[in-house]
């Protein structure tokens, strides 16, 4: 098959997501040194929180992490196809039928008997991490049902239990009494697991919040933490200034217009020019990840000048006020989400404007937007 001519030439994307390998490595090393005796497993689920699953995995593959955490068999298989060497733990539910297809080099979080049975039959070489529900009441086996579940696992005789895991519901809030109760329940689960003869290598209940607040829980959070949002440079509480955001979203100024006072802009005419002004049109919108809630509220930046978003953010277009930009030109680089935490258009500050959390903005970055390693 002959390729179209343009596919044989360099392609210059209008929009791109830039990922700093230096920031990712800094964050991983910082988190690894944060708490004595606690290893760190990078969480790469949901397209590595929007940063790019395979791209981030390749950046971190030589660090010697205990394993990468993903949500699905699909994500794990993507890493396998790209020859990622670091072991992979699938934390989400796996359809037992999909375990029949071929031998797979993954570990699995288990709390479902049917999945346990399928792993024993079709993936007997695999390690499992027992997922116990310590109080969040989402996934996991209830503490009261744990002894019976362990007996069921033991009955197969060929399953290697490599970990005991759970998940905090509110570890970001260090005074939360429910979190302390979860710590107590996790300690009880550990006692039960050890008492029936299993000797897991890994005990992990903490994600970013638990790791960053590890001193609050007095060393009772296990020997491993699953680092998600903190790995990408964001503290859920916004207190830790040692983390470095690894991502920025950029686009290109592609149209400039002079608009007289009184003219209205965008869908539903939600913005009215209060003065003669210069506006710029950007070739990205809420499909690409410029959140629609930033309409008439958010900011982008051009040459270190913050430019308000005006009118509704459209599916593939966004309008900005560039009146304050000195000599704007078609082709100027525009930063939608900045990697500088204090900028008006940082992921954290943009999330505050939207009334949401940074995770929400990150995971809604279009997978079709090119990710570039810096």
Considering 45, 190, 217, 271, which one is annotated as catalytic? 45
At residue 271, the 3 state secondary structure works out as: strand
With tokens 């343009």, the residue in question is 6
CA atoms of 120 and 116, how far apart (whole Å): 6
Q: Exposed e or buried b for every residue in 260-293, given b needs 16+ CB within 10 A?
A: eeeeebbeeeebebeeebbbbebbbbbbbbbbeb
Q: For this structure, is 74 an active site residue?
A: no
Considering 74, 267, 333, 352, which one is annotated as catalytic? 267
Q: For this structure, is 340 an active site residue?
A: no
CA atoms of 293 and 350, how far apart (whole Å): 9
Q: Which phi and psi (to 5°) does residue 35 adopt?
A: -130, 125
CA atoms of 301 and 298, how far apart (whole Å): 10
Report which of 101, 14, 23, 78 is spatially closest to residue 340, judged by C-alpha positions.
23
**Counts of helices then strands in the chain (DSSP H, E):** 10, 20
Cβ atoms of residues 268 and 295 within 8 Å: no
With tokens 């997922």, the residue in question is 131
- Which residues are 320's β-sheet partners? 280, 309
Cβ atoms of residues 315 and 286 within 8 Å: yes
**Cα separations in angstroms, 270 against 54, 129, 273:** 40, 52, 10
Q: How many CA atoms, within 13 angstroms, populate the side-chain half-sphere of residue 203?
A: 19
Which are the catalytic amino acids? 45, 267
């Amino acid at each position: 098959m002959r390729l179209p001519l343009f596919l044989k030439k360099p392609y210059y994307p209008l929009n791109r997501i830039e990922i700093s390998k230096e920031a990712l490595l800094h964050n991983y090393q910082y988190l690894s040194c944060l708490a004595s005796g606690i290893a760190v497993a990078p969480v790469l689920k949901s397209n590595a929180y929007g940063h790019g699953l395979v791209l981030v995995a390749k950046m971190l593959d030589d660090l010697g992490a205990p394993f990468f955490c993903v949500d699905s068999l699909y994500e794990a298989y993507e890493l396998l196809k790209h020859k990622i060497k670091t072991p992979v733990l699938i934390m989400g539910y796996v359809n037992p039928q999909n375990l029949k297809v071929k031998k797979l080099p993954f570990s699995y979080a288990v709390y479902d008997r049917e999945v346990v049975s399928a792993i024993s039959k079709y993936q007997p070489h695999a390690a499992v991490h027992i997922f116990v529900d310590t109080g969040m009441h989402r996934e996991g086996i209830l503490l009261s049902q744990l002894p019976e579940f362990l007996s069921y696992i033991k009955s197969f005789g060929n399953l290697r239990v490599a970990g005991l895991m759970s998940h905090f519901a509110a570890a970001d809030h260090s005074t939360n009494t429910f979190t302390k109760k979860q710590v107590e329940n996790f300690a009880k689960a550990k006692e039960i697991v050890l008492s029936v003869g299993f000797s897991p290598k890994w005990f992990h209940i903490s994600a970013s919040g638990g790791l960053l607040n590890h001193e609050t829980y007095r060393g009772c959070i296990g020997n491993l933490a699953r680092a998600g949002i903190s790995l990408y440079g964001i503290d859920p509480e916004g207190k830790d200034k040692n983390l470095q955001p690894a991502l920025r979203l950029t686009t290109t100024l592609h149209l400039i217009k002079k608009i007289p006072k009184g003219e209205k802009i965008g869908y539903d005419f939600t913005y009215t020019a209060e003065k003669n002004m210069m506006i710029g049109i950007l070739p990205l919108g809420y499909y690409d990840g410029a959140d629609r809630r930033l309409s008439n509220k958010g900011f982008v930046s051009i040459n270190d000048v913050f430019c308000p978003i005006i009118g509704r953010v459209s599916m593939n277009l966004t309008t900005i006020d560039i009146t304050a930009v000195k000599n704007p030109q078609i082709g100027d680089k525009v930063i939608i989400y900045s990697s500088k935490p204090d900028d008006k258009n940082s992921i954290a500050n943009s999330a505050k404007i939207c009334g949401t959390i940074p995770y929400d903005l990150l995971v809604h970055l279009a997978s079709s937007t090119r990710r570039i390693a810096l």
